[in-house]
Amino acid sequence: MATSGSEAKKDDTKLTFRLYADGDHEWSNWQEQIFEGDESHKCPTYVHKTPPCQGSCPSGEDIRGWLNIVRGIEKPAGDMAWQEYAFRRSTDANPFPAIMGRVCPAPCEDGCNRNNVEDHVGINAVEQFIGDYGLNNKLVFEPGADTGKKVAIIGGGPAGLAAAYQLRRAGHGATVFDDHEHLGGMMRYGIPGYRTPRDVLDGEMDRIIDMGVEKRMNTRIGKDVTLEQLEKDFDAILFAIGAQSGRGLPIPGSEADNCISGVAFLAAFNEGRLKTVSGKVVVVGGGDTSIDVASVARRLGHVTTINEKDRPENIVLGHTAHDVIDIAAREGADVLLMSRQPIENMNAAKHEIDDALREGVDIRGSLNPVEVIRGADGRATHLRVAKLDYSSGKAEAVEGSEYDIECDLIVAAIGQSGNLEGMEEFGNERGLMDADKHFQLPNKPGYFACGDIIRPHLLTTVIGQASVAAESIDHYLKNEALSKRPKVDVHHFNLMEKLHETGLDPEEYHAAGSDDVRGIDRGLRGTDEKGKGVGGFAVHNYEDRSAHEIIPTDELFLGHFAYEPRFKRDEKVPTAEEVLGHFEERIIGLDEEKAVAEAKRCMSCGMCFECDNCVIYCPQDAVHRTPKAESTMGRYVYTDYDRCIGCHICAEVCPTGYIKMGMGE
């Protein structure tokens, strides 16, 4: 219920923030209605929202933030180089920018609003530039103040190491247990080195270990160390063991020795044991793992006559190793990749499919494996398949379409599960683990899990899960209740942190007796008509909706953006004739000039990028630049509401959708 003006005079503090009196919504006469018809009770406010690139990023990176740093809009405080500032912003969420800039399939680029202008921003390319700068300039991570708490992390892959990074930043001790000789998990053993160069991978992992993370390699929990011992020695336990057991084909005959999993095939190759294949290779899948298997097989080539002990399945299963192999005798391998999905609907990234085709992989879609045909010795000789028809909207086998594909090796890349030996009590019926939205294990206080052991997915997904899990562990160690996760659960730009960084913290607010409270509708800290700061207790006309909303294209003024072709990275993708023995990195990173130019294509959705449109087009001269001494990211302009008539023009011409007509609602 509204309070009358006479009542307000009795207690001035109750209506401190009241801007309009009762009756202000009524027209006084027709002349005013005619001549002031272009006015509105609504005046602009500045609303920060999450851009769709960030909303599409499973690790929740502040992508718009570090792109704006690279392009020069947001500047670091002090004498920090902008490259390092961009690196710090990027690694708030993801400590592996150089690796992820190379291998992430970039769902952020699919979500990019620039797709509605001409083409998405090359986010991965700029991220690789940032990550490589960090490695080349030996940037380090600093741990937080020691809390005395210790966390056991089971698994030294991307999830475990990302969690260790976030826990060390919070000041907690972290010990990583891994049953391999080297750290890296699927980044090392599941992805070939020409995609994740080992010097880059080791550099980014070492930076985390150097924060004071203890590592215990070749150690299997449940065998070498019991869970009961971990409970005694640590304050919390995090499972990040990944899903390194491949699923076999669920068809008759798949128990043949030369039917192996894609995970096992890639592990044998990345460990240096598998150096060649034999005969014709058939890969069943459709995702990135199947592409990696097929591409590796093409690079390894095959030997026509091979000893029984050197057959690929014996190497993969660990019976023998290719210690000595006649490399000169290798020929190009005949590799077929088949998928139940049509090629255009395969889960693998399109550029990975294109590269595999260029390298000579035969890819066929809409095929369903029916049976493995075995010879007298029990080995698979053919894979029987049937064609699939999707015209009804679902996969249906085409009657009478079955045929046999000759093969010497069948590799199934159709799914993964975890190796829970010694930890069986924590597994579910799918060979994975169950956890809640905070990544806690049900009914097991102090136990947490994240990464592929929850649900096999992208590297960027497990990095994002690790960040949330580390935050949950931090709350647990502090005996704090776990709060509801934000609707848009990412690493957001924080204006208050930016004001603190630039020395513009709002002053302490005292309502009673203050002469400044009536100036709340002016500027950053309150500015008079001459631009001089008055009152510094409030952050004015700003609303942070980033934890609740992702800004769509229709809230942007796309007419502001000219056609600008993408600055693409060069790639050295070998042809079918060149692929044998080709293990060089395929991607050539952008230089600084091109990285900056590509970052400038970012439309800064949901955040001001200082284009001056609102200042230029305001017919009332009501929008002004914030004085330099008080200006920072997100605080570039302010509105003089004494002049503003609510014409909406500033909001209409704002390219990024940062200005909303909300004041007066």
CA distance 531 to 344: 58
CA distance 238 to 155: 9
Q: For CA atoms 519, 520, 523, 525, give the dihedral sign.
A: positive
- The pair of structure tokens assigned to 266 is 């890639």
Q: Which residue has the higher pLDDT, 252 or 517?
A: 252
Determine how β-strand 380-389 pairs with β-strand 396-397: antiparallel
The residues that bridge with 482 in the sheet, in sequence order, are none
Listing DSSP states for 399-442 in one string gives: TT--EEEE-SEEEE-S-EE---TT-GGGB-TTSSB---TT-BPT
Q: What average pLDDT does range 104-109 have in this prediction?
A: 94
CA distance 71 to 564: 15
CA distances for 246 relative to 252, 412, 413, 441, 553, angstroms:
17, 8, 7, 24, 41
Q: Could you tell me if 53 and 63 are in contact, meaning their C-beta atoms sit under 8 angstroms apart? A: yes
Q: How many CB atoms lie within 10 A of CB 320?
A: 14
Return the SS3 of 135. helix
Q: What is the DSSP secondary structure assignment for residue 171, as one 8-state letter?
A: T
Determine how β-strand 623-625 pairs with β-strand 637-639: antiparallel
Q: Could you tell me if 625 and 160 are in contact, meaning their C-beta atoms sit under 8 angstroms apart? A: no
- Residue 648's pLDDT band (boundaries 50, 70, 90)? confident
Q: Could you tell me if 469 and 454 are in contact, meaning their C-beta atoms sit under 8 angstroms apart? A: no
Quote the pLDDT of residue 9. 41
Q: Which of 168, 93, 56, 87 is nearest to 463 (CA)?
A: 93
SS3 content of the chain, % helix, strand, coil (to 5): 30, 15, 55
Quote the pLDDT of residue 322. 56
pLDDT in tens, 526-545: 444 444 444 466 666 889 99
Quote the pLDDT of residue 78. 87
Tell me what percent of the residues of the chain surpass a pLDDT of 70: 86
Q: How many CB atoms lie within 10 A of CB 510?
A: 10
Q: What average pLDDT does range 191-201 have in this prediction?
A: 96
Q: Which residue has the higher pLDDT, 193 or 17?
A: 193
- Residue 18's pLDDT band (boundaries 50, 70, 90)? very low
Tell me what percent of the residues of the chain surpass a pLDDT of 90: 75
Return the SS3 of 658. coil
Q: Which residues of 64-81 are buried (b: 16+ CB within 10 A; e: fewer)?
A: bbbbbbbbebbebeeeee
Q: What average pLDDT does range 435-463 have in this prediction?
A: 95
Enumerate domains of the chain plus CATH numbers: 43-49+494-545+606-663 (3.30.70.20), 142-244+418-487 (3.50.50.60), 246-415 (3.50.50.60)
Q: Phi, psi at residue 295, to the nearest 5°?
A: -70, -40
Using the predicted structure, report yes or no on whether residue 576 has a pLDDT greater than 90. Answer: yes
Quote the pLDDT of residue 327. 52
pLDDT in tens, 416-447: 999 999 999 999 999 999 999 999 999 999 99
- Best mean pLDDT range from 294-308, 422-436, 461-475: 461-475
Starting at the edge strand that comes first in sequence, how are the strands of the sheet with 280-285 ordered? Answer: 259-261, 409-412, 280-285, 334-339, 362-364
Of 93-107, 292-306, 526-540, 603-617, least confident by mean pLDDT is 526-540
Quote the pLDDT of residue 315. 77
Helices in 234-329 by DSSP H: which ranges? Answer: 262-270, 288-300, 312-316
Using the predicted structure, report yes or no on whether residue 42 has a pLDDT greater than 90. Answer: no
Q: Which of 416, 414, 338, 353 is nearest to 383 (CA)?
A: 338
Of 325-339, 473-487, 593-607, least confident by mean pLDDT is 325-339
CA angle at residue 144 from 139 to 148, to 5 degrees?
140
pLDDT in tens, 513-524: 555 444 444 444
Using the predicted structure, report yes or no on whether residue 361 has a pLDDT greater than 70. Answer: yes
Q: What average pLDDT does range 560-570 have in this prediction?
A: 94
- The pair of structure tokens assigned to 248 is 């076999």
On the CB side of 370, how many CA atoms lie within 13 Å of its CA?
A: 17
The residues that bridge with 372 in the sheet, in sequence order, are 383
pLDDT in tens, 586-638: 999 999 999 999 999 999 999 999 999 999 999 999 999 999 888 999 999 99
Helices in 137-243 by DSSP H: which ranges? Answer: 158-169, 186-189, 198-209, 227-233
Q: What is the maximum span of the chain, computed from C-alpha positions, in angstroms? A: 102
Mean pLDDT (the chain) is 88
Q: Which of 523, 529, 534, 557 is nearest to 632 (CA)?
A: 523
Q: What average pLDDT does range 389-414 have in this prediction?
A: 95
Using the predicted structure, report yes or no on whether residue 31 has a pLDDT greater than 60. Answer: no
CA distance 57 to 50: 11
**Backbone dihedral region for residue 308 (phi beyond 0: left; psi -120 to 50: alpha; all else: beta):** alpha
CA distance 32 to 27: 7
- The pair of structure tokens assigned to 12 is 């001035």
Of 57-66, 225-234, 407-416, 525-534, least confident by mean pLDDT is 525-534
CA distance 306 to 462: 40
Quote the pLDDT of residue 174. 98
- Cβ neighbourhood burial of 126 (10 Å; 0-12, 13-18, 19+): buried
The residues that bridge with 387 in the sheet, in sequence order, are 367
Name the CA radius of gyration of the chain, rounded.
30
Helices in 47-106 by DSSP H: which ranges? Answer: 52-55, 63-71, 82-91, 97-103
CA distance 165 to 74: 26
CA distance 463 to 450: 9
Q: Which residue has the higher pLDDT, 274 or 525?
A: 274
Quote the pLDDT of residue 535. 47
Quote the pLDDT of residue 332. 86
CA distance 334 to 282: 9
Quote the pLDDT of residue 454. 96
Q: Could you tell me if 116 and 149 are in contact, meaning their C-beta atoms sit under 8 angstroms apart? A: no
